[in-house]
Chain A
């Protein structure tokens, strides 16, 4: 079984502060980490590898520093790593990013493509589904569990707002995975020692199967008009009253605000 996992290096948003004057992110000194949902996806792939002997390739698009998350993935147990890095990829929104990744995936073999549900720096949850659309393969998003039914059939537990759906899917397909699906393993010590002895393949735009006008800033229809820090909500008012009285109170408050 061939599995390709798409991962992203993101700033650790739990450590990010926002400049209150300019509304921009203060990224100085903020560590970069593997996006948590992607790590959940990689763990899912590695469990398939442990159980059935899959070959796991990790791929990321990013600046040369993104090499670090690929090394981390190798130290966790991935077999191969590819870094899509080229000035032509710069400034990409989700569409241009998914075009680049799909372009790379067209040149690879895979039964399963796994991505994280969404990245903590953008929270769009668009790249995985877009890749599946570009490649014309079925997709299941918000995956909480994966089990193999036969050689190329899988049972997938998908999280929804109401609960779970149990789905069956045949390879090839794409899954977007939740960080909460499993507890990702730590890098092993022998894995770490080997991580820098392995090759991270550097791929430029010319090496992938894609129309170059669909890449980078040129291929990005999204325009950011403004970024701003969300204002703090005011503390609410607490009423300690009996339920009967509370109903009337809530209705009158909603009417005050013209909500009902």
Chain B
């Protein structure tokens, strides 16, 4: 058992923290305020190879591991949660399922461009009537003249409109229930595939969250991902990996709020001394940092298990559940420590509090995480 990062992971952490501090943090408030997708940051990230961290070199990846990937999402989110989720959705929800379930031809076609960042990735599972009950898919895919014809719509899709490659889940045979669901690869610009309404959100406001609309959208037969009927299993396995990414995002938000609060409580004086000198502050901060560190260990342990190729579904659920709830608690208290100033947009903690909330909701709500953890207990 060894809790140290490897030398490679440590060197990576040094780079990504510097990148986040110098390139990402200065834009965080503006990206939030203007609800602007940080395209310039995405281009810089692409240049460094951040969009293919855990992918094998053979397919154009960096040949790193999932632990490095979680460090990247954590450090980016510590500065800007919007930037963190752009990387997380791309890597966990598009690059990874194509790498894991794609044919050799699909891998050769899509992975190098996804890993280089030339193409951004997204994932479409959620529908107006299929949220936590993901099996209630109403988007359909029918095989017709050697082409799959997609009809229906997806909502709340991260990187929507910005991505070039979408992994889309659709019903191919309703009579089979979960076993009648399949996964597909759909490229932006395919006739019949449109980007719908862009959501106006509470947090992660720079991240593009849109509707995807399919109207007799015809894609080649070869764009089926995995086997017919395996779509639900692919989606669930994809979300297992995604949860580690979102857990890392929540962890980064929490650590970012801790850092801001330590700085503020050292400087802010009331009753003749820095508020950080009061034991009430210190004890609360000690409890919060303990939770943040516990979340970090859960995130890294889940990523480590994924890297080792052992089952990690419950670990990912625990990491996400705990990190998300910690992020919400830490950011709420961070605003409280900042008092009236914390409620203003002059300080970043109110943004962090708004950003934290989504981590308890997307890629499986905290309730879903509890279902996954409990199912693992009572199997």
Q: A75-B15, A193-B62 are known contacts. Are A186 and B7 too (CB-CB below 8 A)?
A: no
Report the number of A-B residue pairs with Cβ-Cβ less than 8 Å.
51
* Inter-chain contact B8/A193, CB cutoff 8 Å: yes
Is the contact region of chain B dominated by helix, strand, or loop, or is it mixed? helix
The answer to whether B11 and A188 have CB atoms under 8 Å apart is no
| B11 and A72 within 8 A (CB) | yes
Min Cβ gap A216→B in Å is: 28
Out of B8, B18, B50, B53, which one reaches A196, CB within 8 Å? B8
Q: Determine whether the beta carbon of A190 is less than 8 Å from that of B62.
A: yes
> Given the complex, which residues of A lie within 8 Å of B26, measured CB to CB?
none
Q: A186-B15, A187-B15, A189-B12 are in contact. Are A196 and B49 (CB under 8 A)?
A: no
**Contact flags (1/0) for A198-234 with B, using CB distance below 8 Å?**
0000000000000000000000000000000000000
Which residues in B have their C-beta under 8 angstroms from that of A192? Answer: 8, 11-12, 15, 62, 64
B64 and A193: CB pair below 8 A? yes
B195: interface (CB < 8 Å): no
Interface residues of A in 150-206 (CB under 8 A from B): 186-196
CA–CA, A187 to B13, complex, Å?
11
Q: Dominant SS at the A interface?
A: helix
**B11–A189 CB distance below 8 A:** no
Specify the chain A residue showing the minimal Cβ separation from B15.
Answer: A187
**What is the bound-complex CA distance between A75 and B10, given in angstroms?**
13
Most A CB within 10 A of own CB, among B11, B52, B63:
B11
Q: Is B19's CB within 8 Å of the partner chain A?
A: yes
A117 within 8 A of B: no
A189 to B49, CA, bound (A): 5
> In the complex, what residues of B have CB within 8 A of residue A8's CB?
none
Chain B nearest CB, measured from A192 CB (Å): 5
CB distance from A12 to the nearest CB of B (A): 11
Contact status A186-B64, CB under 8 Å:
no
Q: Residue of A at shortest CB range from B45? A: A189
Contacts of B7 in A (CB 8 A): 71, 196
Complex CA gap A68/B15 in Å reads: 13
Q: Do the beta carbons of B19 and A189 come within 8 Å of each other?
A: no
Does B273 count as interface, using CB distance less than 8 angstroms? Answer: no
CB-CB contacts below 8 Å: B17-31 with A: 18-19
Whether A187 contacts B53 by the Cβ 8 Å rule is no
- Are B11 and A195 in contact, with the CB atoms below 8 A? yes
Residues of B within 8 A of A75 (CB): 11, 15
Of all chain A residues, the one with the shortest Cβ separation from B62 is A189
Chain A residues closer than 8 Å to B52, beta-carbon distance: 189
Q: Within A45-76, which residues are at the interface with B (CB < 8 Å)? A: 68, 71-72, 75
Q: Which residues of A contact B63 (CB under 8 A)?
A: 190, 193-194
Name A195's closest neighbour in chain B (CB-CB): B11
Residue B221 CB within 8 A of the other chain: no
In chain B, what residue has the closest Cβ to A74?
B11
Which residues of B are interface residues toward A (Cβ below 8 A)?
7-8, 11-12, 14-15, 18-19, 47-50, 52-53, 57, 62-64, 68
Identify the A interface with B (CB < 8 A): 68, 71-72, 75, 186-196
Q: A75-B15, A189-B53, A195-B11 are in contact. List 4 more A-B contacts (CB 8 A).
A: A71-B7, A192-B12, A192-B15, A193-B64
**Sample (11) of A-B pairs whose CB atoms are under 8 Å apart:** A75-B11, A186-B18, A187-B14, A187-B48, A189-B15, A189-B64, A190-B63, A192-B8, A192-B62, A193-B63, A194-B63
